[in-house]
Structure 1
Amino acid sequence: MSYLNLKRAVLAGIAGILLSAGTAQALELRSADIHPDDYPTVLAVKKMGELIQERSGGRITVKVFSGGALGSENDSIEQVKLGALTMARVSSAAMHNICEVTRVPSLPFLFTSTEHLHKVLDSDIGDQMLRSCEQAGFVGLAWYDSGARSMYSRDKPIRNVSDAKGMKIRVQQSDLSVAMIEAIGANATPMPLGEVYTSLKTGLIDAAENNYPSYESGHHYEVAKYYSKTEHTMTPEMLLFSKRQWDKLPEADRKIIQDAARESVAYMRKLWAERENNSLQIVLKGGAEVVETDKASFQAVMKPVYDRFVTTDEMRDLVKRIQAVK
């Protein structure tokens, strides 16, 4: 954590202590998100806050720090673990090295559709994966959507695994993402999202992979017009609560918070579906070409990824149970 973000965390922690001391029963829950104020995840947490405030008679409120105001997702995770921050919405990919079970929903081609994803996350399987992070210092409140990630390229469409061979493809800074791209014979290039547009424009990379909203909002469609619907991952988002703070709450407050978090999921999914559709229309009008792909050719080379990252009996059991959900 940078000095600036550490200072922010300490000051925020002091502020929270003073708030509790000065107002007795009043409680402010502080939540971080790297996305802008109008993003579905941010709006969903604000909706959760409205429910909490109403059900607690105004005693419990939620303040959302959006747009990365409290640092990166990794910074937020560290602050939540320390108890200096109450909550954070992060990609489950950011938790892979902290809570290994979170690798499971990031596995390539594990989910066959958005409906399949929702059935899994809304079941005891989803609850089990959320609970797995408690030993690392986090209470998983809910799963949010992040859409399906697909590949988009500058110079030619990617229709099958052969088309991708040798390409330099930007991925998230995640070992699993790197391994997936290497499995298709391409060169994985991890880099922050903010560097993708320039890297595509200058030819530093040939392609990238993400969902429609990121493809659109980052203006990547202007420099990589071929959007190939590989839909290789549907890595969900997580809403995490500090276990240090959770353990200090009375059971009644925990129930209010947990119920509101779960109820915010449907609202988030509605907003996400609208956002995806709007982004798709924007990129199509902007000259992007959506390309159908031979998904089977990509799936056929993913066994080494599963062998490397599905490392425990619990994870293997989760994969089997997820694949059995219809």
Structure 2
Amino acid sequence: MKKHTLSSFKTLLVTAATTACLMSASAQALTLKLATDSGTQGSPAGDALKKWGELIEQRSGGEIKTKVYYQNELGGQQEVFDLHVAGDVDVMLNWPMTSYDKRIGVIYTPYMTLSWDEALNAYSPGGWVNNMLGGIYQDIGLKFFGPWPEGFNGVGSRGKYALNIADAEGLKVRTMTVFPAPQTMQALGYQTAAIDWGEVYTALQTGVVDGEAGNVIYWDYEYFRDSLDYYVQTKHFFMTGILSMNLDSWNGMSEEEQKVVSEAALEIMNDQFKAAKEQDDHYIAEAHKAGMEYFEPSDEQIREFAKAAREKVWPLMDQEIGSEIMETIRANATPL
């Protein structure tokens, strides 16, 4: 009897320990790590990520917990995207890197669209750019929810600015480290240095570069307005973040949990589609107040830039992301 009691007690201990482990694993499985590679707490991107997490928790009735990580808290852009693909970051609002699949560079195709209406139609659910991105993301193990549009980008610089290709000579600007960002700015007449976002401030302060050519005006105003004198909205890229989830994390959830996450993502995306143009206009005005001179090139000047980029960069993209994708882009891009 004594041996039986001891044996039963041991069994109970093992069962309790196993149950505790399973409960712990279950708790971990229902905790999603959310991260953005660009955007501190309180920034538009940071606020969007925070709201996404809050919506997930609220709509799951607290069954899904979220942990939010902002810019540089988990590393630089490439490091955080690596974590996302590996599954160590479940959910992201990111400006994706092309290291895993160069076809992601479709969002960095210069001068695909030249107006807000054309761009938003292309990136909206059912739009021709949106449709291409879903399959590409799945191939690298990510669930594509949709874009988080910011607007057309430009070149922030000090001491000198360029409204045409000839005037860009001698200006060295920072570009994103993804293809074809450097190639695009070189086509527009600039010298380039591909620099990670986290190192841009130092590069400007030390004179490594004369300007920054990767973002909408918000980022140059918010981070570098003391270093930059001018902003020219060259419109070479329509900038958009991407809302995505690691596919293994996605498949590991129940259908109800998936619905919660995807519907929250859709709300975040729709919010930004409505707010993007207003946000961009707001920060143009703020940059003016801060003493930055803002220039919007004429249609003729934009066409000069666009023609040069399409002639020099698009053939390179045929080789890098494939002629099939480029045929779709050529068929749908804004006519010049």
Partners of 1:152 and 1:259 lie apart in 2 by 36
SS, match of residue 103 in structure 1: helix
1:19–1:28 Cα change, 3 Å: farther
SS, match of residue 234 in structure 2: strand
Counterpart for residue 118 of structure 2: 116
Aligned 8 A contact 2:150 2:240 in 1: yes
2:232 to 228, 243, 248: 228
Give the deviation of 1:271 after TM superposition: 5.1
Give the deviation of 1:182 after TM superposition: 1.7
2:195 to 173, 184, 191: 191
Partners of 1:18 and 1:145 lie apart in 2 by 42
Counterpart for residue 32 of structure 2: 29
Counterpart residue identity of residue 85, structure 1: V
Counterpart residue identity of residue 73, structure 2: A
Counterpart for residue 314 of structure 1: 324
Partners of 1:226 and 1:115 lie apart in 2 by 26
1:67–1:18 Cα change, 3 Å: farther
Give the deviation of 1:261 after TM superposition: 0.7
Give the deviation of 1:25 after TM superposition: 10
Aligned 8 A contact 1:109 1:231 in 2: yes
Segments of structure 2 that go 5 or more residues without pairing to the other structure are: 1-19
Counterpart for residue 242 of structure 1: 246
1:26–1:54 Cα change, 3 Å: farther
Partners of 1:251 and 1:199 lie apart in 2 by 47
Counterpart residue identity of residue 196, structure 2: P
1:100–1:204 Cα change, 3 Å: closer
Counterpart for residue 260 of structure 1: 264
Q: Which runs of structure 2 are paired with 1:23-172 in the superposition (5 Å)?
A: 27-34=30-37, 35-92=39-96, 94=97, 96-124=98-126, 125=128, 126-172=130-176
Partners of 1:23 and 1:175 lie apart in 2 by 40
SS, match of residue 117 in structure 1: helix
Partners of 1:19 and 1:85 lie apart in 2 by 22
Partners of 1:18 and 1:32 lie apart in 2 by 27
Q: RMSD across aligned C-alpha pairs, in angstroms?
A: 2.6
Give the deviation of 1:275 after TM superposition: 4.0
Give the deviation of 1:54 after TM superposition: 3.1
Aligned 8 A contact 2:34 2:53 in 1: no
Partners of 2:46 and 2:328 lie apart in 1 by 29
1:308–1:264 Cα change, 3 Å: same
Residue correspondences, number: 306
Aligned 8 A contact 1:40 1:268 in 2: no
Greater shift, 23-32 or 251-260, is seen at 23-32
Give the deviation of 1:300 after TM superposition: 1.9
Aligned 8 A contact 1:46 1:62 in 2: no
- Give percent identity, aligned residues only: 23
The TM-score with structure 1 as length reference comes to 0.84
Give the deviation of 1:140 after TM superposition: 1.3
Q: Deviations over 1:191-232 (max 9, x none)?
A: 23344445445543233223211111112x333312112121
- Higher Cα Rg, which structure: 2
Counterpart for residue 11 of structure 1: none
Counterpart for residue 4 of structure 2: none
Partners of 2:21 and 2:81 lie apart in 1 by 23
Q: Deviations over 1:38-86 (max 9, x none)?
A: 1222222332233333332221232211132122222222222222221
Partners of 1:229 and 1:244 lie apart in 2 by 39
Counterpart residue identity of residue 129, structure 1: L
Q: Deviations over 1:145-178 (max 9, x none)?
A: 2332111222223111111123212111123111
Give the deviation of 1:276 after TM superposition: 2.9
1:36–1:285 Cα change, 3 Å: same
Segments of structure 1 that go 5 or more residues without pairing to the other structure are: 1-16
